[in-house]
Amino acid sequence: MKIKIIALMAMLLLLASVGWGQEEAAIDSTVQEVIPPGPPLNLKAFDKPYDNGHAIDLTWDLSVDDGAGRNNIIEYRLMRADSPEGPFVERKKLEMGKTEAEDKGVKEPDDPNYFPREHDFYYKVVAVTADAEAESEVVGPVRGIGQWYNAGKNPVAVAVVLFTVFTIYFIFKAKKGAELYIRPLAGIDAVDEAIGRATEMGKPILYVLGLGTAADIATIASFTILSRVAQKVAEYQTSLIVPCYDPIVMTIAQETVKASYYSAGRPDAYNQDSVFFVTNQQFAYVGGVNGIMLRDRPATNFYLGKFYAESLIMAETGAVAGSIQIAGTDEVTQIPFFVVACDYTLIGEELYAASAYLGREPVLLGTLKAQDYAKALVIICCIIGFIAASFGWTWFVEQFHVGN
């Protein structure tokens, strides 16, 4: 009996030892499966060209396990330190398949992304899998150096020089009395007709400068047109009404109209109350202007300047009052409303061209002609670039590639 018990215990011990051996083998096999990936190779770091010295460019070759091998790379991590020994700080995470990165920072020392110029850095790139990592060799020292001139923007410099030459040339040409051709604008050609109609009907002319400030380009252009309109009004002895949204615009408009009356030789006919302030509340101003339209029934309405949601309200009211309406604005969203509700509309930069067309100032005319020639040059370059890209002429395309 004792012998049987001893034999049974020996068998149990033997079975247990076999099981333990299998578990140890399984553990060993699991440990063997955790193999680190191949590290990134040929890491290179260099100063980013044509910048202010706050960036470093890095390139490397993919790990052998990125897209090949075990194909288990999840991401790369860019690490930076002030010395080869570290400690290294993670700068950014990159998707698998990436072979380049930019380490960029700011100038302010208090910012966590502070990137000092003329400071040595050391870099490494870590290839990461689900359960292991592999580091590239450390490269450095490398430092960011600021450049005085961004050679990557040479096309911009050439364009600026050409435009400056065009502008100076046409301004001098206009000052010498040369006739510079400007495409006729129907809305401007109709100004004299509209003023003459108001004179024949014995009704006033309403001029709205819009809701812009005196600093807005559209308002400045409108002042030039107002000067021409006021001069014609003084010559024809017609009434002029200029309700203003901004007090500063009102002051400038008063001086503009006054100077026009003096230029026409009718200073005694100038009425300061013809240019007045209404309110600087948008729809309250619209209500006031609409009231003027319906009470005074002006023969001609001018809407030239900066306009917003009130454009259609005023234009529709003017149409109901039976006025000839000439509008112009650089607000793209409001142009369709003026087109459908007014007799003539100056679209976009035609408003600026109108000021040169009417004012005939050499500076305005020269600048306008320079813009026309610059646009023609840009169109020619676009056509050549399209042809070059189609036929694979890389030299031309590379010349016009603007750097960062």
> What is the full DSSP assignment across 305-365?
EE--TTHHHHHHHHHHTT-EEEEEES-GGGHHHHHHHSSEEEETTHHHHHHHHHH--HHHH
Question: Residue type at 301?
Answer: N
> Is 19 domain-assigned?
no
User: Are 215 and 356 part of one and the same domain?
Assistant: yes
pLDDT for res 382: 85
User: Are 257 and 210 part of one and the same domain?
Assistant: yes
CA dihedral 379, 383, 385, 390 (to 10 degrees): 160
Number of domains in the chain: 3
User: Are 57 and 119 part of one and the same domain?
Assistant: yes
pLDDT for res 404: 46
User: Are 129 and 265 part of one and the same domain?
Assistant: no
> Is 21 domain-assigned?
no
> Is 373 domain-assigned?
yes
pLDDT for res 338: 92
Domain hosting 376: range is 153-169+365-398
> Is 94 domain-assigned?
yes
> Is 245 domain-assigned?
yes
User: Are 192 and 335 part of one and the same domain?
Assistant: yes
pLDDT for res 11: 62
> Is 107 domain-assigned?
yes
> Is 34 domain-assigned?
no
Question: Among candidates 148, 94, 89, which has minimal Cα distance to 121?
Answer: 89
Helix axes of 311-320 and 282-296: crossing angle, nearest 10 degrees? 10
100-104 sheet: strands from edge to edge: 41-47, 55-61, 100-104
User: Are 157 and 221 part of one and the same domain?
Assistant: no
User: Are 317 and 385 part of one and the same domain?
Assistant: no
- Alpha-carbon distance 335 to 348, whole Å? 8
> Is 311 domain-assigned?
yes
User: Are 162 and 233 part of one and the same domain?
Assistant: no
pLDDT by residue, tens only, the chain of 404 residues: 555 566 556 565 655 554 545 554 444 544 556 788 889 999 999 888 888 788 889 999 998 888 888 888 889 999 999 888 878 988 889 888 889 998 888 777 777 677 887 788 999 999 999 888 888 899 989 988 888 887 777 888 888 999 999 889 988 888 887 777 777 778 788 888 888 888 888 899 999 999 999 999 899 889 988 998 999 899 888 899 999 999 999 999 999 999 999 988 888 888 888 999 999 999 999 999 999 999 999 999 999 999 998 999 999 999 999 899 999 998 989 999 999 999 999 888 888 888 777 767 788 788 888 888 888 988 998 888 888 888 877 776 666 654 44
